[in-house]
Amino acid sequence: MSHWKIHEGNLHFLTMTVVDWMDIFTRPIYAETIIESLAYCQREKGLVIHAYVIMPNHIHMIVSAEGNLLVNILRDFKQFTSRRIIQQVKTVRESRRSWLLAGFEKAAQAGNRVQYSQFWRPGNHPIVCYSERFTRQKLNYIHKNPVKARLVHHPEDYVWSSAGDYAGRRGPIDVCLLF
C-alpha cells in the first residue's frame, strides 16, 4: 500500500499541520475547537479515535472510521476547523491576530487552494498501520511528542493527548484504546 493515500477500512496514522508551522494550539481556545470538532466527528460521522496529540502547530492521530469514508470525515473536519479557528482569531482577544491572519492569507495565495485564507497544509500524510509493531511505534511516538518538545515531563500529563487515557485517566474526548 502506498504512502499518503487513505485506504478505507484500515487503521491510519495521520499528521495534520498548520500552514507555515504556526504555533496556534498554544492557546486553549483553538485546541478546544479541535477537541469539540473531533468529538462531533465521533458522534455524527463515525470517526474512531484510537490515539491523538494536539501539538502547538500540528496534530497526530491514529484513527479509523465506521459507516462513513475516512477521507470525507477528515475533509469535513479540516474545512470546519479552518473556518472556525480563523473566525476565532478575528474575534477573540488575540495578541498575534495580525501575524496569524497574514500567514493564513499568504498560504492561500501561495497555494491557490482557497480564496482568502488557508489554515491547514494540504494532505493528512496517512500511513496505514499495517502491523501491531508499527502501530505501537506510532502510538509511542504520538504520546512522547510533547515530552520530546519539552512541554511536559510525562506523556500522561499533557492535556491535549490520549496518553492519559492509556494511563487509566479519562481525557477530553473518547478514545478507543488499541492495546
Residue 2 has pLDDT above 50, yes or no: no
Dmax over CA atoms of the chain, in Å, equals 45
User: What is the average pLDDT score of the chain?
Assistant: 93
Nearest to 17 by CA among 68, 53, 65: 53
Q: What is the pLDDT of residues 54-91, one digit of tens each?
A: 999 999 999 999 999 999 999 999 999 999 999 999 99
Q: What is the edge-to-edge ordering of all strands in the sheet holding 127-128?
A: 47-54, 58-65, 12-17, 127-128
12-166 CATH, one of 3.40.1160.10, 1.25.60.10, 3.90.1150.10, 3.30.70.1290: 3.30.70.1290
- Residue 87 neighbours by CB under 8 Å, 6+ apart: none
Report, as an integer, the average pLDDT of 149-170: 96
Q: What pLDDT is recorded for position 109?
A: 85
Q: What is the pLDDT of residue 120?
A: 95
Residues 106-152 have pLDDT tens digits of 988 886 665 688 999 998 999 999 999 999 999 999 999 999 999 99
Written in H, E and C, the secondary structure of the chain is: CCCCCCCCCCCEEEEEEEHHHCCCCCCHHHHHHHHHHHHHHHHHHCEEEEEEEECCCEEEEEEEECCCCHHHHHHHHHHHHHHHHHHHHHHCCCCCHHHHHHHHHHHHHHHCCCCCCCCECCCCCCEECCCHHHHHHHHHHHHHHHHHCCCCCCHHHCCCECHHHHCCCCCCCCCCCCC
pLDDT tens-place string over residues 6-54: 888 899 999 999 999 999 999 999 999 999 999 999 999 999 999 999 9
Give the model's pLDDT for residue 4: 67
Contact 157, 166 (CB under 8 A): no
pLDDT confidence of 1, banded at 50, 70, 90? very low
pTM: 0.93
